Amino acid sequence: MEAFPRTIFDETHDQFRAAFRGWLDDRVVPNHEEWERDGITPRDLWFDAGKQGFLGLTVPESYGGGGTNDYRFASIMTEEIGTTGVIGSGNGITLHNDIVLPYYLELANDEQKKRWLPGMCTGELIGALGITEPNTGSDVAGVRTTGVKKGGVYIVNGAKTFISNGINSDLVITVCKTDPEKGHRGFSLLIVERGMKGFERGRNLDKLGMHAQDTAELFFNDVEVPAENLLGEEGMGFVYLMTNLAQERLGIAVGAIAVADAAVKWTLDYTKERKAFGQSISQFQNSKFLLAELATEVQIAQVYVDRCIELHCEAKLSAEQAAAAKYWCTELQNKVVDRCLQLHGGYGYMREYPIARAWADSRIQTIYGGTTEIMKEIVGRSLTR
């Protein structure tokens, strides 16, 4: 079955896709397994990404960035990382670009932009977002880390966990409770920088998948954060988080469909070559029916996601639409990858096959960025209010 032609990209996007895919094939793919074993990508990868113009696409050129507000370029990077199977090695870059940087672009004052943005475009400064805590996941309002203002500094105490880029990061947007009496209006965003006294990193967490993506525990023990490191207005942290979550969730959906599509293609190739009972596995009715089901559902999801990308580029994508895309596409990703692994038989369980790595890398998708259950709550609340 011929795939539906995608109409959201033009020649400039196609050229960018080719350039980024070429960089992945040359710089990332050959080293991915080594970085997976190491549990982290090296700093020089970040410097190289910055040199090639793959960091800070949306940052104004005056600060060393790409100067584009076209989200389609970001979606291309996410898709290519997914289809090449190097999610662990590439996920930190897309997080830096698409999840962390928007906070700086929207909230930082001129002095902060001059201080941080150039380094975030060259790879000298790697960003992370510190929300999740040992006892707080999807319930952002349950954050317990405190930032008590004393004179010209905030004294930060608390802990974060499951923080992507946690080991490599130089700048951590840290969600703190700065006024416990004000509920949702009592949260602020403070930039905690590498080297600040009392700021410590715990272990690089041993995850099921995405091993090359450093994910860490962070600890804050009387860290003195200058008031100049307050991002945006005090007390507006919760509002800022809710505003930026739509793009994060859309990005997860984009990656989910890219991996699902790749899984179907890997499986088609494998089942055509693998023989059983005198014929290729692809010729059995069960294989045909299952592959037909998976390929069709992936194409349907791709059309929805492409429409979401268009809406986001027009600043019209709603939180509910992004939540629906995130929950549906990540659930589909896990379904597709799991059933494609089954068609690989015993070889599907071997990590030398991309389907095995994709299976492990995919499982987190329905959890981070807001669980499937939370996404359904968001969509359901909009339908019944």
Cα-Cα-Cα-Cα dihedral sign, residues 289, 294, 295, 300: positive
Rounded Cα distance between 187 and 143, Å, is 9
**Alpha-helical runs (H) found in the chain:** 11-23, 32-38, 43-51, 71-83, 87-94, 101-107, 110-122, 237-273, 285-313, 319-343, 354-362, 372-384
Phi-psi region of 345 (alpha: psi -120 to 50; beta: other; left: phi over 0): left
Catalytic residue among 248, 273, 293, 331: 248
Q: How many other C-beta atoms lie within 10 A of the C-beta of residue 17?
A: 18
Amino acid making up residue 256: A
Using alpha carbons, list the distances in angstroms from residue 353 to 137, 169, 213, 347, 349: 32, 31, 19, 7, 8
Active site residue 233: no
DSSP, collapsed to helix, strand or coil, labels residue 330 as helix
CB 121 within 8 A of CB 50: yes
By annotation, the residues acting in catalysis are 248
